[in-house]
């Protein structure tokens, strides 16, 4: 008998939501069949059976599950299987830990399950929950809300404008708490969006477990900006500071392998290749998609990858492979006149580079947050100065 276990999908979450079984309990499946939809704080992932046989559900839809937890078994017909909704040795899951749901009305006995991306869009657009219930579907996904929004009339938009701005996720700098703006006031009991709650968990874990330090070097970004403009025209892809720094950081992997390592007790686990995470926040939530094997990529490849990631961020429809595997993170703070930013070190990584926009002409303060268990101040200074030489040497 084979077991279907939940893989570790990212470094930010310790539990995932089992959104929907794609194959009914007791159905026969093949090894490569997608059988269940699991949602993390940043994306939804279809898990395959991994074996052929009869699928037996171990958990109900709307239940939270953990990495490496058995959520189903696959065996021959007639094998004894766990009752759906139970874990080995446990009773039915605690209803207090179920997914976000719509409060039932007087005639509703089974409100729909609303996935986190769908709920975020509902909040952003201010869609009335009665209209969501009227869809009459058991699991409401973001695509369902997008179709519902597309059917909204001009009168609906006018009514929303007259009623005031809808509650939406505020733009939040990496690692910071949400702040109120005149355009987007927060209520006294504002509930953090699921994406921001994941950021909060990562920040908390980072501060509890990683003794971080910080160093800053002032760089002249003039050559890099000129280089970016020239490459944009040449390759017909947008090239900016994000692309420049991803390529420059990745190029330092062989000289500074510890900066791309993982701390494991008293050991440093080195990475075979630099996988560079880049923060993306366009008002739909903070994401950290990854440019994998960045040292082997051309600037055109990097620009194309980051362009796809920015488009995916507008809908939150990332694949888990897009968001996992980073061993170095570049955090972007190039808007709103930011001159200094101190990011947190993401759990599972050792460094986070903060890139700010130029001030006083073309000068910018580029900072490195680093895990002091593995990297010392002298090492950080050497890395930053090597990065400076690379960026300022672009032609």
Alpha-carbon distance of 275 to 303, in angstroms, equals 15
Which residues are 72's β-sheet partners?
Answer: 4, 57
d(CA 349, CA 276): 10
How many Å apart are CA 334 and CA 242, to the nearest integer? 9
Q: What is the pLDDT of residue 174?
A: 33
Taking the domain 2-97, which CATH number applies?
Answer: 2.40.50.100
Q: pLDDT (tens digit, 9 = 90+) per residue, 274-316?
A: 999 999 887 666 889 999 999 999 999 999 999 988 888 877 7
Directed axis angle between helix 194-209 and helix 116-125, to 10°?
A: 120
- Report yes or no: 244 and 391 within 8 Å, Cβ to Cβ: yes
Instruction: Specify the pLDDT at position 119.
Output: 73
How far apart, in Å, are the Cα atoms of 377 and each of 49, 214, 368? 48, 8, 10
* 75 vs 56: CA distance, rounded Å: 8
Task: Read off the tokens for 162.
Answer: 């007259």
Q: Phi/psi of residue 376, each to 5°?
A: -105, 170
Nearest residue to 259 (alpha-carbon basis) of 369, 393, 144: 369
Give pTM, 2 decimals. 0.57
251-277 pLDDT per residue, tens:
999 999 999 999 988 899 999 999 999
Query: Could you give phi then psi for residue 43, rounded to 5 degrees?
Result: -165, 170
Query: Packing angle between helix 222-235 and helix 299-313, nearest 10 degrees?
Result: 90
Q: What is the pLDDT of residues 321-374, one digit of tens each?
A: 898 899 999 999 987 788 899 999 998 999 999 999 998 789 999 999 999 999
Provide the CA 376 distance to its chain's centre, in angstroms: 29
Domains of the chain, residue spans: 2-97, 197-392
Higher pLDDT, 379 or 180: 379
d(CA 275, CA 261): 11
Closest CA to 36 of 10, 1, 70, 79: 70
For residues 77 and 4, the answer to whether their CB atoms sit within 8 Å is no
- Which superfamily does CATH assign the domain made up of 197-392 to? Chloramphenicol acetyltransferase-like domain (3.30.559.10)
- The number of beta carbons lying within 10 Å of the beta carbon of residue 54 is 18
Helix residue ranges per DSSP H, the chain: 116-125, 129-133, 142-150, 154-163, 194-209, 222-235, 241-250, 299-313, 320-323, 377-392
Say if 2-97 and 197-392 have the same CATH topology: no
Q: Are 283 and 171 in contact (CB under 8 A)?
A: yes
Q: In 3D, which of 353, 354, 352, 364 has the Cα closest to residue 392? A: 364
- Of 344 and 119, the structure prediction assigns the larger pLDDT to 344
pLDDT exceeds 50 at position 232? yes
Helix (H, G, I), strand (E, B) or coil at 285: coil
pLDDT of residue 182: 41
Cβ partners under 8 Å of residue 214, min gap 6: 342, 367, 368, 369, 370
| Short-list 361, 80, 377, CA closest to 217 | 377
Burial 192-202 (b: 16+ CB within 10 A, else e): ebbbbebbebb
Report how far residue 260's alpha carbon sits from residue 62's, in angstroms, rounded to the nearest whole number.
37
User: Backbone dihedral region of 293: left (phi > 0), alpha (psi from -120 to 50 degrees) or beta?
Assistant: left
pLDDT digit string (tens) for 186-224? 556 667 776 777 778 888 888 888 999 999 999 999 999
Q: What is the pLDDT of residue 160?
A: 38
Partnered with residue 216 across adjacent β-strands are 367
46 near 36, Cβ under 8 Å? yes
DSSP 318: B
* pLDDT score at 133: 81
Residue pair 160/186 in contact (Cβ under 8 Å)? The answer is no
């Amino acid at each position: 008998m084979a077991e279907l276990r939940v893989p570790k999908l990212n470094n930010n979450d310790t539990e995932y939501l089992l959104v929907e079984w794609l194959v009914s309990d007791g159905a026969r499946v093949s090894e490569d069949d997608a059988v269940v939809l699991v949602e993390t704080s940043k994306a939804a992932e279809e898990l395959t059976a991994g074996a052929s046989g009869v699928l037996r559900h171990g958990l109900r839809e709307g239940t939270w599950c953990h990495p490496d937890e058995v959520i189903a078994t696959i065996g021959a017909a007639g094998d004894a299987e766990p009752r759906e909704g139970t874990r080995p040795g446990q009773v039915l899951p605690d209803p207090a830990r179920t997914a976000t749901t719509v409060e039932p009305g007087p005639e509703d006995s089974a409100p729909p399950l609303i996935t986190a991306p769908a709920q975020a869009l509902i909040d952003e657009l201010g869609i009335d929950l009665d209209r969501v219930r009227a869809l009459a579907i058991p699991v409401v996904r973001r695509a369902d809300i997008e179709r519902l929004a597309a059917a909204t009339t001009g009168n609906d938009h006018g009514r929303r404008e007259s009623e005031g701005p809808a509650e939406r996720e505020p733009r939040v700098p990496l690692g910071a708490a949400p702040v109120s703006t005149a355009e987007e006031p927060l209520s006294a009991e504002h509930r953090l969006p699921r994406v921001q709650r994941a950021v909060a968990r990562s920040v908390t874990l980072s501060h509890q477990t990683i003794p971080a330090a910080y160093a800053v070097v002032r760089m002249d970004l003039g050559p890099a900006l000129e280089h970016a403009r020239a490459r944009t025209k040449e390759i017909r892809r947008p090239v900016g500071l994000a692309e420049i720094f991803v390529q420059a950081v990745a190029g330092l992997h062989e000289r500074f392998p510890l900066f791309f390592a993982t701390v494991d007790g008293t050991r440093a686990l080195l990475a075979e290749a630099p996988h560079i995470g880049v923060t993306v926040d366009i008002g739909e939530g903070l994401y950290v998609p990854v440019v994998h094997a960045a040292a082997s990529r051309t600037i055109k490849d990097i620009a194309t990858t980051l362009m796809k990631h920015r488009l995916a961020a507008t809908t939150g429809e990332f694949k888990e492979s897009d968001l996992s595997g980073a061993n170095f993170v570049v955090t972007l703070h190039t808007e709103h006149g930011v001159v200094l930013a101190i990011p947190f070190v993401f759990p599972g990584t050792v460094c986070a580079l903060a890139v700010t926009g130029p001030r006083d002409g073309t000068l910018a303060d580029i900072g490195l947050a680093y895990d002091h268990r593995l990297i010392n101040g002298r090492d950080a200074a050497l890395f930053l100065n090597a990065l400076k030489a690379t960026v300022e040497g672009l032609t």
